[in-house]
Amino acid sequence: MAKSASFSCSACGAVSSKWSGRCDACGEWNTIVEDTPLSAGPASKSLGAKRGTTLTLTDLSAEETPPPRTQSGITELDRVLGGGMVPASAILVGGDPGIGKSTLLLQAAARFAGAGLKTVYVSGEEASAQVRMRAQRLGLGDAPVKLAAATSLRDILTTLEAEKPDLVVIDSIQTVWADNVDSAPGSVSQVRAAAHELTSFAKRKGASVILVGHVTKEGQIAGPRVVEHMVDTVLYFEGERGHQFRILRSVKNRFGPADEIGVFEMTGGGLAEVANPSELFLSGRGDPAPGSVVFAGIEGTRPVLVEMQALVAPTPHSQPRRAVVGWDGARLAMILAVLEARCGIPFAGLDVYLNVAGGIKISEPAADLAVAAALLSAREDSSLPAETVVFGEISLSGALRPVGQTENRLKEAQKLGFTSAIVPAGGKPGGKSGLTLTQLGDLTAFVGDIFGAG
Residue 95, marked binder = yes
Using CB atoms within 10 Å of the CB of residue 440, give its burial: 0 to 12 exposed, 13 to 18 middle, 19+ buried: buried
Cα→Cα distances 302→35, 109, 264, 271, 296, Å = 43, 26, 15, 20, 11
Phi–psi pair at 22, nearest 5 degrees: -130, 135
Q: Are 167 and 201 in contact (CB under 8 A)?
A: no
314 is in an annotated binding site: no
Judged on CB neighbours under 10 Å (0-12, 13-18, 19+), 311 is middle
Q: State which H helix or E strand residue 210 sits in.
A: strand 208-213
**pTM to 2 decimal places:** 0.79
Q: What is the per-residue pLDDT for 43?
A: 47
Percent of the residues in the chain that have a pLDDT greater than 90, as a whole number: 59
Question: Which residue in 338, 259, 270 sits closest to 299, CA to CA?
Answer: 259
In order of start, what are the domains of the chain with their CATH numbers?
A: 75-275 (3.40.50.300), 280-451 (3.30.230.10)
> What distance in Å separates the CA atoms of residue 100 and residue 313, rounded to the nearest whole number?
36
Residue 92 has pLDDT above 80, yes or no: yes
* Contacts by 329-338, CB closer than 8 A, 24 or more apart: 331/365, 331/368, 331/371, 332/371, 334/396, 335/368, 335/371, 335/372, 335/375, 335/394, 336/375, 338/372, 338/394, 338/396, 338/398, 338/443
Instruction: Give residue 221's pLDDT band: very low, low, confident or very high (50, 70, 90).
Output: low
Backbone φ and ψ of 372, nearest 5°: -60, -40
| Confidence band for 454, pLDDT divided at 50, 70 and 90 | very low
Q: What is the pLDDT of residue 453?
A: 55
Higher pLDDT, 356 or 241: 356
pLDDT of the residue at 29: 87
pLDDT tens profile 22-58 = 988 888 888 887 776 544 445 444 444 567 788 888 7
Element (H, E) at 277: helix 277-281
CA-nearest of 379, 329, 331, 371 to 351 is: 379
Higher-confidence residue of 307 and 185: namely 307
In the prediction, which pLDDT does 9 show? Answer: 80
Q: What's CA 197's distance to the chain center, in Å?
A: 25
Quick one: pLDDT at residue 46? 44
> Higher-confidence residue: 47 or 353?
353
183 is in an annotated binding site: no
What's the order of all strands across the beta sheet hosting 420-424? 322-325, 350-356, 302-314, 292-299, 388-390, 420-424, 436-440
3-state secondary structure of 448: helix
**Residue (of 183, 203, 205, 257) closest to 34 by Cα position:** 183
Identity of the highest mean pLDDT range in 150-159, 233-242, 256-265, 274-283 = 150-159
Which letter, b or e, does each residue of 363-375 get, where b requires 16 or more Cβ atoms within 10 Å of its Cβ?
A: eebbbbbbbbbbb
Q: How confident is the model at residue 16 (pLDDT cuts 50, 70, 90)?
A: confident
- The pLDDT, as a whole number, for residue 218 is 62
The 3-class SS string of 25-82 reads CCCCECCEEEECCHHHCCCCCCCCCCCCCCCCCCCCCCCCCCCCCECCCCHHHHHHHC
Lowest mean pLDDT among 82-96, 233-247, 292-306, 331-345: 233-247
Is 335 among the annotated ligand-binding positions? no
List, for residues 385-416, the tens digit of each pLDDT value. Answer: 889 999 999 999 999 999 999 999 999 999 99
72 annotated among ligand-binding-site residues: no
Beta partners for residue 304, in sequence order: 297
Helix (H) or strand (E) holding 298: strand 292-299
Confidence of residue 352 (pLDDT cuts 50, 70, 90): very high
139 is in an annotated binding site: no
d(C-alpha 361, C-alpha 237), whole Å:
12
More confident residue, 41 or 103: 103
Mean pLDDT of 52-76: 82
Q: What percent of the chain has pLDDT over 70?
A: 91
pLDDT of residue 39: 43
Which of 392, 412, 393 is CA-nearest to residue 302?
412
8 Å CB contact between 253 and 261: no
Which residue, 333, 277, 330, is CA-closest to 306?
A: 277
Mean pLDDT for the stretch of residues 98-122: 94
Predicted pLDDT at 188 = 80
- Give the total residue count for the chain: 454
Measure the CA–CA gap between 46 and 381, rounded to whole angstroms.
71
* pLDDT surpassing 80 at residue 4: no
Beta bridge partners of 253: 233
100 known member of a binding site? yes
State yes or no: 96 annotated in a binding site.
yes
